[in-house]
Amino acid sequence: MYLSNYKALCFALSILFVFSACRKEDDVPEPAEPQEFGTFDLVFDNVYGDGELSLVGTDDENFDYVNGNNQDFNITLLGYYITKIELTGPNGEYYADEMATSADPDEVKGFYHVLESDANSRTIRLNEVPAGKYDRVNFTIGVDADAVSEGATGGVLDPAEGGWLWNWDAGYIGFAFEGRSPASPAEATQWAPENAVQLHIGGWKDLPDNPSMVNNVKRNSIPFPSSVSVGERLEPNAHIEMNLLTMIAGPHATVDFSTTFSVHAPALGSEIAKNLATAFTVDHVHQ
């Protein structure tokens, strides 16, 4: 009798062991498939109205463009900072460009100084973008105060290397346009020629006790004409147009060069800065 009970107990334990072993095997998760990544290029094209845009020398007296007040002008400098880039997709896809500041220029990430005079600067390559479909790009025009809150930084933000820093309170010039116009009454100085037009739009924080300091950093969210796929063997890009005509003759401000020809403080450019929301559009994408 005792032997029978012992055999029954052994049989029950063996069954329990088998089920336990099966359960443990069933609970082991399948190895995750490696995440696939790709690249995505943002190509910035600066235009004026429906036409191309080109720079001339500061002493050039050919005026190929006409503003919203029927005033002739030319363009000698054009550029802006692009920061905090994000890509989003219809199925929850998301990518945020890495941001980092440092006195070492090789360690600065996520800050781009797009200059009409430098063709290489007008293409921004985003690496390690998770594979998937994307249909919108978000980015900041300008440099936020919190981006460089730790002090001096290198790379494209370094004034010694061409970075457009006014001072700590005023911050960086986020958008700059310079040229000449017969309508401008500016006299020649050691920094600018006669009839100069200099519109420097910057400022990164509002100071209630100093109305000349305002935050002109703007955030844009722009849809693509169609979704774009990112993957290991794909090379997609989006062509983003910045229309200078919209910038100086947009819905919030139309610049008159006879009165607005020297903007070198945040508050002076606050109304023009509002045009940044519509000056940038995605013209087309390539898969």
List the chain pLDDT tens, one digit each, 287 residues.
444 554 444 444 454 444 444 444 455 556 556 679 999 999 999 999 999 999 999 999 999 999 999 999 999 999 999 999 999 999 999 999 999 999 899 999 999 999 999 999 999 999 999 999 999 999 999 999 887 776 668 999 999 999 999 988 899 999 999 999 999 999 999 989 999 999 999 999 888 888 889 999 999 999 999 999 999 999 999 999 999 999 999 999 999 999 999 999 999 999 999 999 999 999 999 99
Question: What does DSSP assign to residue 145?
Answer: G
Please indicate, yes or no, whether the overall pTM of this predicted structure exceeds 0.85: yes
Amino acid identity, position 11 = F
Query: What is the four-CA torsion angle of 140, 257, 193, 157, rounded to 10 degrees?
Result: -10
- Cα–Cα distance, 45 to 4 (Å, whole number): 89
Amino acid identity, position 134 = Y
CA gyration radius, the chain: 28
Closest CA to 38 of 116, 114, 131: 131
- Distance in angstroms between the alpha carbons of the first and the last residue of the chain: 79
Q: Which residues contact 262 (CB under 8 A, 6 or more apart)?
A: 186, 196, 197, 198
- How many other CB atoms sit within 10 Å of the CB of residue 255? 25
Closest CA to 223 of 154, 134, 132: 134
